[in-house]
Amino acid sequence: MKIHQIVMLSVVLAVAFLQGCASPIAKDGRIKHEQYEIEVSGLDWIEIAYYPSEANTEIPHTCFLSIYGSGEIVFRTGKSPRLTNSFSSDTEHPDWNHYFSDRMHMSTKEIQEIYQYFIDEGIVAKNPVAVSKQVSGNPSIRVAANIGRRKINMFTDNKYLVELTEEALENFSHVIRQSSATGNKDFL
């Protein structure tokens, strides 16, 4: 009987230990990730969809941010079906024209810094499947990217990546305010 109890206790402790080691989140709350320096290529890209919490009044709509290695950053927000489906033909949709966008161009060095910030915060997770999860209530992001030949696909509410995305969105606050102010009005 004692041997059986010792074996069972050993199994339980081993499982508990391995679960702690396999956690995709470090003790400080950051995602465990690959650490490397990026050399930007014109073929690199990051696509981020930011989903605000329902209580967020500053960013009321889903935002899309595309950061290309060529130096272009494209921002989109609103309620139009065109935001999530570039091929949408539902022109009768009541929010069809509720589509706002802006773009900016940056140097390769600036884009490299942006990519490095995202890499340093865990965009290239060691265990992306464990990091990706469906979340509700919290602001969250969906990321698809190809950086330095590493393919990334994750959905997370990790506060560090979400905050970094929110900082990037601040560059487009004028567009977010315009989107928020127009409500359901038609704008061409």
Q: Has residue 172 been placed in a domain?
A: yes
Angle at 74 between CA 150 and CA 124, to 5 degrees: 20
**What is the pairing mode between strands 63-68 and 45-51?**
antiparallel
Q: Has residue 104 been placed in a domain?
A: yes
The percentage of the chain sitting over the pLDDT mark of 90, rounded to a whole number, equals 44
Reported pTM: 0.76
Residue of higher predicted confidence among 146 and 29? 146
Please give, one letter per residue, the 3-state secondary structure of the chain: CHHHHHHHHHHHHHHHHHHHHCCCECCCCCECECCCCCCCCCCCEEEEEEECCCCCCCCCCCEEEEEECCCEEEEEEECCHHHCCCCCCCCCCCCCCCEEEEEEECCHHHHHHHHHHHHHCCCCECCHHHHCCCCCCCCEEEEEEEECCEEEEEEECCHHHHHHHHHHHHHHHHHHHHHHHHCCCCCC
pLDDT at residue 132 in the model: 56
CATH number of the domain residue 70 falls in = 3.30.1560
Q: Has residue 13 been placed in a domain?
A: no
Residue position matching structure tokens 């003790």: 27
Residues 6+ apart with CB under 8 A from 108: 40, 69, 71
pLDDT at residue 4 in the model: 58
Residue of higher predicted confidence among 3 and 121? 121
Region 181-186: mean pLDDT is 57
Q: Has residue 175 been placed in a domain?
A: yes
Q: Has residue 15 been placed in a domain?
A: no
pLDDT at 108 over 70: yes
Q: Has residue 64 been placed in a domain?
A: yes
Q: Has residue 23 been placed in a domain?
A: no
pLDDT digits (tens, 9 = 90+) for 34-64: 666 778 889 999 999 999 988 888 898 999 9
Q: Has residue 148 been placed in a domain?
A: yes
pLDDT at residue 157 in the model: 87
Write the burial class of residue 154 (CB in 10 Å: 0-12 exposed, 13-18 middle, 19+ buried).
buried
The total number of structural domains that make up the chain: 1
Domain range enclosing 88: 34-182
